[in-house]
Every structure is written in C-alpha cells, then in structure tokens.
A and B are shown apart, each in its own frame.
Chain A
C-alpha cells in the first residue's frame, strides 16, 4: 500500500511515539502556565476596564486593542527574534508562555469586562443602599453574578489558547506541533503525523469544550 497513509508510515510513528509524547507534555505545560498568566492579566486589565477612573480605562483599551489587533505570530516573532537585538534573550519556553498568555489575556480582559458590565447597575446601587462599600459590593454582589456569565467564554479562550501554542512551532518551540513538523519533514510520513497530532490536540480541547457547553446549559437553567 502506498500513499500518505501507508501502513508502514503508521508503524514508524508508533516506533517513535516518544517524540510525540515529549511534545505533548510540553504543550500541556505551555498551555497550563500560559493560561494562568492569561487569567491573571485578563482579570487585572478587565477590572481596569470597568473602573470609573479614566486612566485605568485607557490602560485597558491600549492593552486590549494593541494585542487583539496584531497577529499572534508577529508577537511571538518579536519576543523570539526581536528582543535579543535589545539584549533580552528569553528561553523559547518563556517566549511561549508570555506569547499566548499576553495574547489571550487581552481576550479574557474583554470577557471579564463584559461579564461585570452585564450585571445590572441596580445591583450595585442596591448594594450601596444596604451600606456596602465599592469593593464589598464588587466581591459579594457583582463578581459572583459576572462569574457565571463569564465562564463559558472563558473556557473557549482556554481551548483557543491550547490550539494557539502550536504557533510556537515556527520558532522551534519544542512543543507538539514542532515535533510533528520535525518528524514528518524528515521522513515525509506527514499523513499519520498530522492525524495523530490533531487527535492529541482534540483530546485536550474536546473535554474543555464540552465542559464549557455544560456550564452554558447550567447558566440557562439558573437564569
């Protein structure tokens, strides 16, 4: 049997499974740390966006618009190839965490801002009338309601973040996509390589996406 999916090509892949396993682990690590950074940045800048202080709002807009309107590839290239010319040589793993973290942080900031703003103003006013302070009202009244609305889009961001770590393959990132490219361009057994790689990404993203679906359904019932 010949063609891109010939049997011996699958056998070769099974033989070299450690190559893919190593990349897979790296992708999981990158995604986990990237997600933590993205959540931290997202919550911080998202709350800045809901603030009444003009400067905070401007900071939020600059970050969100600048990151959302430039391609992730360019941002990664800047971190990887650009910074060394300024004397900053970040390891490629850090480039990855910073790259996807900052990129998705901007999207998460919007999710958080939208979540907080979706809570009717009356809730905050009612809280004030009961003697809550601004932060007291935020923590006990507004954020718990915003959280419910933000969860489904947040999980979508997590799924996108995992998939976007594959951009790191362009700068020899040592994650799953890099090893898939590396392995299959040497022996040209690209058929099995990309099918298996796709399935591995699916195995990470699908459970998360279904979790998001479930959250969404729960939300419909409770609201």
Chain B
C-alpha cells in the first residue's frame, strides 16, 4: 500500500503547486499604488528594457532573418514605438521568439512583459490576459497547391485543412463550411513552417491561416484563394494583473491610429 501513499502524496504536491501559483498572482495585485507609476511599469523602467514576445516565423510581422539573425517586421516596429513610449528609447527592448504554445506561459511567469505575436483577440482569451485595441485586422484565407485545381471552399469538401494550434482559423473555416453544408477535416500543427511542410508532402490539401501571414509562405507551386473568412483582430497581450501597463499600451496604439503612424507602418510592410 506504500505505493498508493506515494501516488496520493504526489497528487497533493501538484495541487499545492497549483494553489501556490494562484497565490502569488493575487499577492502582487494590491501592490499597485494609485499614485505615481504603476509597479509593473516601474519594474520595466528600472530594468531599462522592455521584454516582448514576438513571432520569428511570420514574414512581414515578426521574422528572424536567417542570414543576419535580426528579427524584424510590422510587430517589431510596433514594439519599438512602445519601447519609446515607456522607456523613451525605441532601441530599449528585448525580443524573444514565441509560439502559440509558449506565449501564454511566458506572460504568466513574467518572462515577457508583452506579447505582440499575431495574437487574435477572443472573449475566452480575454479572461486570462489583457488585450489592447486591435492594431491589425485580417481575414482567414486558404492556400492550396496549384495543381490541386481547388478554387473555393466548396472544393475542399471532405478534404483536410492544416491550421496552427490556436484554432481561431479552425473555428472560422468550420463556421463557413457549416454554412455551405460541406464537411472538412482539420489537422493542427505547432508552427507555420510545419503546416507548409505538410502541404508540400500532401498530408493536407490546404493551409489556412490569416491572409497576411499566408502571403509569407506563397511560392511557385501554391496559390491563395480569394475567399476571406471571419476577420481576426490582433491585440497586444499583457498579464492580467498588469492593468496599468495594458492601459499605456492601449493609449499608445490609439494615438498611433489617430496620427496615421500605424497606417504608415502597415504600408511600409506591404500589409495594406
């Protein structure tokens, strides 16, 4: 019976861990004073650098150039603007590559202050994180192989569609398919390059994600269909407790919208 005790003990330890995790987040909340700078912003200023989670595999948004090792894109420019606002210097930021799987935990454990990584705003996600006003809106698009002869969603009936593990595109396509009365299957992959690999090897018939992201993977053998589905809104995410930081981010984005700076950045990256 000793083993049963060990098992019970390990389960209890896990629960204790879980409770401890909750405790620490609630503790940090009341520390936010009304006067002066919020502690989370002060922490960033003391550190002298803004830590941001960005995509490294999405051309035009956040992409690490294999030749130079530099990460650049529309979302990196947005990061620069935020660094300038919070720290007064657009160079004072540290970008870290994130995936759909890592961006949530990295925010929770404070490894990054903000996530600016083609993060679609949903009601469900708002319960876990603060999201800014959308800085970019895009419809979900479909990419197929040229030789497949598929021209619209109807052509994908009973076919397999590859999506990224962050199923906002899956939901959008599913709804559209239901409306048209066709059945489609989905396979989820961790990163976009993996979906492209699966399309090349014929594992999937279609690669579906937000249009602007999809254009980064277009080549001679593939074509992007004209259909667009449920617009996806990207927001800057921050830890739920860091409400002051979220406010600063939101104000900055609204200012950039009003001044036309955001539009200019989109034009710079060919996203308009």
Count contacts between A and B, CB distance < 8 Å: 97
Mark interface residues in A181-204 (1 if CB within 8 Å of B CB, else 0). 110111111110001001100100
* Interface presence of A178 (CB below 8 A): yes
Instruction: Please indicate the chain B residues that have their CB under 8 angstroms from the CB of A80 in the complex.
Output: 201, 203
Q: Which residue of B lies closest to A81 (CB)?
A: B201
Contact of B187 among A6, A8, A172 (CB under 8 A): A172
- Asked whether, in the complex, the Cβ of A2 is within 8 Å of the Cβ of B240, the reply is yes
A2-B240, A188-B125 as given contacts; A172 in contact with B189, CB under 8 Å: yes
The reply to whether A190 and B105 form a contact with Cβ atoms under 8 Å apart is yes
Complex CA gap A2/B104 in Å reads: 13
**Chain B CB within 10 Å — which of A3, A198, A206, A210 has the most?**
A3
**Would you call B188 and A172 a contact (CB within 8 A)?**
yes
Interface of chain B, helix or strand or loop or mixed? helix
Total number of A residues with any Cβ neighbor in B under 8 Å: 35
Q: For residue A210, which residues in chain B have a CB less than 8 angstroms away from its CB?
A: 3
8 Å CB contact of B203 from A8, A84, A182, A187: A84
Q: How far is the CA of A9 from the CA of B203 in the complex (A)?
A: 33
Known A-B contacts A84-B201, A206-B7; the reply to A188 vs B188 at CB < 8 A is no
By the criterion of a CB under 8 Å from any partner CB, how many residues of chain B are at the interface?
41
Are the CB atoms of A8 and B21 closer together than 8 Å?
no
Are A3 and B203 also in contact (CB < 8 A) when A81-B197, A185-B101, A187-B124 are?
no
**A1 contacts chain B at the CB level, 8 A cutoff:** yes
Are A199 and B127 closer than 8 Å at their CB atoms? no
Bound Cα distance from A181 to B105, whole angstroms: 13
B188 lies within 8 A of A178 (CB): yes
Q: How far is the CB of A73 from chain B (nearest CB, A)?
A: 12
User: Which among A85, A170, A172, A181 has the greatest number of chain B C-beta atoms within 10 A?
Assistant: A172
| Bitwise interface map of A from 159 to 185 toward B, beta carbon under 8 Å scored 1, else 0 | 000000000011110000010011011
Tell me whether B43 is interfacial, beta carbon within 8 Å.
no
A216 to chain B, nearest CB (A): 14
Binding site for B on A (CB under 8 A): 1-6, 8-9, 80-82, 84-85, 89, 169-172, 178, 181-182, 184-191, 195, 198-199, 202, 206, 210
The 3 closest A-B pairs by CB, nearest first: A3-B25, A172-B187, A84-B201
A-B pairs with beta carbons under 8 Å apart, 26 shown: A1-B26, A3-B21, A3-B25, A3-B26, A3-B108, A4-B21, A5-B18, A5-B19, A5-B22, A6-B22, A8-B127, A80-B203, A81-B200, A89-B203, A170-B189, A170-B194, A172-B188, A185-B101, A186-B124, A186-B166, A187-B125, A188-B104, A188-B124, A188-B129, A190-B104, A190-B105
Q: Show the binding face of B for A, using Cβ within 8 Å.
A: 3, 7, 10-11, 14, 18-19, 21-22, 24-26, 100-101, 104-105, 108, 124-125, 127-129, 162, 165-168, 170, 187-190, 194, 197-198, 200-203, 240-241
